[in-house]
Amino acid sequence: MMRWVRYKRTAFALVLALLMAAPWCAALSEDGDVDEVLYMENEWNYVEGSMDISAGIPEDAEGVLADIRERGVLRVATEPYFPPQEFIDPSREGQDRYVGADMEMARLIAERMGVVLEIVPMDFSAVLDSVAGGECDLAISALSFTPGRAARVTMSKGYYYAEDNAGSGLLIRAADAEAIRGVKDLDGRNIVAQSGSLQEALMMGHVLNYREFRRLGSMQEVYDFLAEGKADAAMVDLGSARDYLNNNPDSGLMLVPGVRFTQEERFQGDRVAARKGETQLIAFVNGVIDELLASGQYMTWYRESVALAAQLGQ
């Protein structure tokens, strides 16, 4: 089902050019000028187009975007235990202790909106529920696209793409390297993944034989469970797991060589989520994403966050 919201006023020539390049629909006034440009959520249920954010939240904003403008606060849900995108710096206090590339992006979104940012930490499994239920305005927590998520919330375009399209894989104890060489070796073993994650979905869809599958609230719990022998393997994001292993060389953990799950190209990239139907809010977010992709600033934050996480041993 297509969803539409008023987008912005503009000149007819500009809209004509946009119509030829992207899925837009323009409504014309009696004098032939464009009265408004309408925005469409695409068939895969994520938003591709962007709003002009140069003047902040428009006066005629609707829905949650209008609520943010009136409230003067942007509430962002995150699970702050997934470096380098979001994690905690214990040397800082209050809202400043939430660091990482995603948290810097959240701060920029609030700045472009002209409002105060409130980061709301929670278990990953609660992040999407918080926006679907209206407790938070946006979910920014290294969210991968899945059809199930897109059915529940409205998602942005992608803003972070792993340099090698890392995908997902299996993490095990190094001592089990000979015993666990692939998915077929998980038969009779205990597996863990982060609750609500893409890796949970991959586990359920691609691993058919195992003894027990447990869902845990944070990635740190996943790593600890595995290291302590409470599980035999974990389905993990390869990029994040590699960073963890580099920062924790004595963890005793390793990735299983040759095991890799990837997404279709159109579904790749981390995304921001809002309540279902809030396409105007996500169009604003996409405007910020466009700015970050054009400048390369997100990747600068990402590299800085990798260094900080290594310094903190996360």
CATH number of the domain at 237, please: 3.40.190.10
Residues 199 and 274 placed together within one structural domain of the fold: no
Residues 73 and 117 placed together within one structural domain of the fold: yes
In a domain, 47, yes or no: no
Residue 21 pLDDT greater than 50, yes or no:
no
What's the mean pLDDT in 5-28?
A: 33
Residues 68 and 149 placed together within one structural domain of the fold: yes
Residues 148 and 187 placed together within one structural domain of the fold: no
Q: Give residue 11's pLDDT band: very low, low, confident or very high (50, 70, 90).
A: very low
pLDDT at 24: 29
pLDDT at 165: 60
Rounded to whole angstroms, the maximal C-alpha distance in the chain is 75
Place of tokens 């974990």: 234
Q: What percent of the chain has pLDDT over 90?
A: 65
In a domain, 48, yes or no: no
Cross-strand partners of 152: none
Q: Where are the alpha helices (DSSP H) in the chain?
A: 12-21, 63-71, 101-113, 124-132, 147-152, 198-206, 219-227, 238-247, 279-295, 297-312
Residues 155 and 225 placed together within one structural domain of the fold: no
Q: Give residue 218's pLDDT band: very low, low, confident or very high (50, 70, 90).
A: confident
Residues 156 and 271 placed together within one structural domain of the fold: yes
In a domain, 261, yes or no: no
Q: Give residue 4's pLDDT band: very low, low, confident or very high (50, 70, 90).
A: very low
pLDDT at 230: 96
Strands (E), the chain: 4-6, 25-28, 34-40, 73-78, 87-88, 98-99, 116-121, 138-143, 153-155, 168-173, 190-194, 212-216, 233-237, 253-255, 271-275
More confident residue, 203 or 113: 113
Of 23-37, 40-54, 204-218, the poorest mean pLDDT is in 23-37
Q: Which residues of 198-211 are buried (b: 16+ CB within 10 A; e: fewer)?
A: bbbbbbeeebeebe
Residues 117 and 172 placed together within one structural domain of the fold: no
In a domain, 290, yes or no: yes
In a domain, 19, yes or no: yes
**59-109: per-residue pLDDT in tens?**
999 999 999 999 999 999 999 999 999 999 999 999 999 999 999 999 999
Place of tokens 């003047």: 55
* pLDDT, mean over the chain: 86
Q: State which residues form the domain around 19.
A: 1-40
Domain count within the chain: 3
Q: Tell me how far the alpha carbon of residue 207 is from its chain's centroid.
A: 24
Q: Give residue 25's pLDDT band: very low, low, confident or very high (50, 70, 90).
A: very low
**166-192: per-residue pLDDT in tens?**
788 999 999 999 999 999 999 999 999
Helix 297-312, helix 101-113: angle, nearest 10: 130
**249-298: per-residue pLDDT in tens?**
999 999 999 998 887 777 788 999 999 999 999 999 999 999 999 999 99
Residues 179 and 249 placed together within one structural domain of the fold: yes
Identity at 308, one-letter amino acid code: L
What's the mean pLDDT in 200-218?
A: 89
In what helix (H) or strand (E) does residue 129 lie, and over which residues does it extend? helix 124-132
pLDDT at 1: 32
pLDDT at 29: 37
In a domain, 45, yes or no: no
Residues 157 and 204 placed together within one structural domain of the fold: no
Residues 114 and 189 placed together within one structural domain of the fold: no
Residues 95 and 156 placed together within one structural domain of the fold: yes
Name the DSSP letter for residue 46. Answer: B
Q: Give residue 164's pLDDT band: very low, low, confident or very high (50, 70, 90).
A: low
Q: What percent of the chain has pLDDT over 70?
A: 86
Residue 122 pLDDT greater than 60, yes or no:
yes
In a domain, 129, yes or no: yes
Q: Comparing C-alpha atoms, which of 247, 305, 301, 287 is closest to residue 105?
A: 301
Neighbours of 44 (CB within 10 A): 13
pLDDT at 252: 96
In a domain, 260, yes or no: no
Report how far residue 83's alpha carbon sits from residue 305's, in angstroms, rounded to the nearest whole number: 7
Residues 150 and 191 placed together within one structural domain of the fold: no
More confident residue, 29 or 241: 241
**Rg, Å, the chain Cα set:** 21
- Here the tokens at position 5 are 């919201």
Of 42-51, 148-157, 218-227, the poorest mean pLDDT is in 42-51
